[in-house]
Structure 1
Amino acid sequence: MRVLVCPDKFAGTISAPDAAEAFAAGWRAEKPGDELVLLPLSDGGPGFTAVLAAALPGAKRLAVPTTDPLGRAVEGHVLLDGEVAYVESAEACGLHLLAGDERDPAHTTSFGLGPLVLAAVEAGAREVVIGLGGSATNDAGAGLLAALGAAPLDAAGYALPYGGAALAACTALSDTPRLREARLVAATDVDSPLLGLHGASAVYGPQKGASREDVFVLDGALTRFSAVLQTLPTCPEGLADLPGAGAAGGLGAAILALGGRVESGIGLVRRLTRLDDELENVSLVVTGEGSFDEQSLRGKVVAGVANGARDLGVPCVVLAGRVDAGRREAASIGVTEAHSLVEHFGSVATALERPGDGLRELGQRLARQWSR
């Protein structure tokens, strides 16, 4: 039997490559004669450049010193493939870079993404694809713009402090960012607008440490900042309402304002990893992520894999930390069955502490069930 194992990361617990290896170890222990093809995936969040580096053997991975959401030194990377560069925003803006008590989207900044983008342009990239996801920020890319030479200013002409809350006082940008005509692409499967009930602050702010009061403050601040972004000559009309503008705390809006475009993260990864070619030659596909829920059905890794499997008549099994999506909804995107680590262990705490063990055990169980 030939099985394709292509999970996303299980956020906060295990990376996509480690999840694939753990499951495969369990399956091989039970059915050593089967062939397992491991193809870890990403939709733009943590692990984006590592996944693409494996898929693009001719690409060069460049280390770039930058800063985290609180301004502390970290190392990021640029993956350069000819004139196209790939950057992972989570390496500079990621929630995983902060301790629980450090999470505060009113003050965290996307500034660290700027050095990564500039390094890509300096290396000769004509197009910079920025993976969006897993961010700790809610500043609509204000920090990124400051790093590119367009700092947000108050009415007196002074540069504003970092963070989303300070943007309530923004009246202008210090300059127009210059990227040597390089094109920006936001790789994301978040289609949220920037503002309102379904916007960046309301939907994702609480996950980053925002209180109910913070959400209202941040949404108001981004309303002000979106009007400032509209003054950029490259900014499209109706920026705040565009799908994807709310991705990664509004980084999508900044990229759109700079004349960039939004592209499906899993669609891009699916194409570059040649996922569809692999799907044509397997009997079963196994994918997964931390939480299989309503958002999963709207274009994340699991949906991309399941859709491709469904189109080719290949059964698709989902493994997740927890499963909240209904069976009928899951079946509609091509999921044959779903298994939860929480249900497997009978404990949320154990599922968080031992995801590798759980995936190995599920690998053994599924091998017995599926391999003939």
Structure 2
Amino acid sequence: MRVLIAPDKFAGTLTAVEAAAAIAEGWRRHAPDDVLDLAPMADGGPGFVDVLHAALGGELAAATITGPHGAPVPATVLRVGATAYVESAQAAGLHLCDGDPEAATSRGVGELVLAAVDGGATTVVVGLGGSGTTDGGAGVLAALGATSDVDLSAGPRALAGVSRVDLAPARERLAGVTLVAASDVDNPLTGLFGAAKTFGPQKGIAEERIAEVDGWLETFAAAADRRTSLEKGAGAAGGIGYALLALGATREPGIALVAEAVDLAGRARAADLVVTGEGAFDFSSRAGKVPYGVAAVAAEALRPCVALAGQVLVGSREMRALGIESAYSLVELVGEERALGAPAEALAELAARVARTWSR
């Protein structure tokens, strides 16, 4: 039997590469003769560069950039031919945001784009996801040369009262470069479904502060490029999507971009079963998350798809609406303490159990 193993990361415990290896190890315990094809996945968030490097090869170049609170942080640029891939989470990820969320900047993402361009890339693909900033991408624009009457690199609070933003220097700096924003988020920059209202709380912005932060982003958009702020995806990564779109970027679904890079469709057609997974499998998985994207590819190939997850938070009806035949929970099998304390071992154990049900 041929099994395609295509999980996302298990946030906080395992990378996608580690998760795929753990599932394969456990599967082999029960079905050592099955042919396993490992295809670690990402949706544009943490792990985006690592997954693409594993799939595409290419060269990794180290860069030191500005973190969300000003400290230098390490990051990498993946260069494949004339195309470079960078990951916003490496520069402005939630794991780096341990200070005031109203002062967190996305400047490092712009510096990563510059590093890619300075390295000779003519196309730069920016993975959006897992960010801890809500500055409307002002920091990105500043790093690329945009000017203003306020400090664009000082987080959303610094945008209060902004009246002038000149994007021309940033656009000139990227002349001849194709920008791609890899994101599945459809939210606009501001408003009821905007970056602050939808994602601000998970980034540490207090509920009673959301309206004011959203107002700062409204003022910023009015000074920079109001029309672009209304576009789908402008609210991605706290508004980094807005900055990229304002500089002429096109938007591609992150999961679709990775799926194409790893030839997921072809590999699914060659398999008898597709196995995916992520840390928490819930109904938000429909919003561009890896399991939903993998399940859609499996369905097109007429192959069943099952999911292994840290927690399964949907019922069977919702699960099938997401294209998943069955989902299995680590926490249910081994308990939360062991699932977090020994995640690879626990995931391998869960995979062995799933193999007993699904392997021939």
TM over 0.5: yes
1:120 to 116, 119, 126: 116
Give the partner amino acid of 1:371. Answer: S
How many Å separate the matches in 2 of 1:221 and 1:114?
Answer: 21
Change (3 A) 1:251 1:175: closer
Deviation of 1:161 (Å): 5.8
Deviations 1:66-112 (CA, angstroms, capped at 9, x unpaired): 122111112111111222111111111111224xxx25321111111
Q: Is 1:186 paired with 2:178?
A: no
Match runs of 1:39-54 below 5 Å? 39-54=39-54
Q: Is 1:248 paired with 2:240?
A: no
Give the partner amino acid of 2:217. Answer: L
Match runs of 1:325-364 below 5 Å? 325-347=314-336, 349-364=337-352
Deviation of 1:332 (Å): 2.3
* Counterpart secondary structure, 2:233: coil
The more displaced of 169-178 and 214-223 is: 169-178
Change (3 A) 1:106 1:343: same
Deviations 1:290-335 (CA, angstroms, capped at 9, x unpaired): 1212221122211110011112221111112222233223212321
Residue 225 of structure 1 corresponds to: 220
How many Å separate the matches in 2 of 1:10 and 1:41?
Answer: 11
Residue 86 of structure 2 corresponds to: 87
Q: Is 1:202 paired with 2:197?
A: yes
Identity among equivalent positions (%) equals 51
8 Å Cα contact 1:135-1:249 kept in structure 2? yes
Change (3 A) 1:3 1:161: closer
Residue 131 of structure 2 corresponds to: 135
Give the partner amino acid of 1:2. Answer: R
Match runs of 1:260-271 below 5 Å? 260-271=249-260
Deviation of 1:350 (Å): 3.8
Change (3 A) 1:309 1:161: closer
Aligned residues: 357
8 Å Cα contact 1:310-1:333 kept in structure 2? no
Deviations 1:149-181 (CA, angstroms, capped at 9, x unpaired): 114423xxxx35611122122111255212132
Deviations 1:209-248 (CA, angstroms, capped at 9, x unpaired): 1111221221111111111221xxxxxx632221111110
How many Å separate the matches in 2 of 1:160 and 1:119?
Answer: 19
1:212 to 185, 207, 230: 207
Residue 146 of structure 1 corresponds to: 142
How many Å separate the matches in 1 of 2:24 and 2:234?
Answer: 37
Give the partner amino acid of 2:126. Answer: I
How many Å separate the matches in 2 of 1:259 and 1:38?
Answer: 35
How many Å separate the matches in 2 of 1:87 and 1:209?
Answer: 25
How many Å separate the matches in 1 of 2:153 and 2:181?
Answer: 25
Give the partner amino acid of 1:304. Answer: G
Residue 234 of structure 1 corresponds to: none
Q: Is 1:60 paired with 2:73?
A: no
Residue 317 of structure 1 corresponds to: 306
How many Å separate the matches in 1 of 2:2 and 2:357?
Answer: 14
How many Å separate the matches in 2 of 1:209 and 1:336?
Answer: 36
1:165 to 157, 160, 164: 157
Give the partner amino acid of 2:143. Answer: A
The more displaced of 62-71 and 161-170 is: 161-170
Residue 72 of structure 2 corresponds to: 73
Change (3 A) 1:354 1:169: farther
Residue 247 of structure 2 corresponds to: 258
Give the partner amino acid of 1:247. Answer: A
Residue 108 of structure 1 corresponds to: 104
How many Å separate the matches in 2 of 1:48 and 1:20?
Answer: 15
Give the ranges of 4+ consecutive aligned residues of structure 1 lying more than 6 Å apart after TM superposition: none
Residue 233 of structure 1 corresponds to: none
* Counterpart secondary structure, 1:238: helix
* Counterpart secondary structure, 2:107: coil
Q: What root-mean-square deviation, in Å, do the aligned CA atoms of Structure 1 and Structure 2 show?
A: 1.6
TM-score by structure 1 length? 0.92
Q: Is 1:239 paired with 2:235?
A: no
* Counterpart secondary structure, 1:180: coil
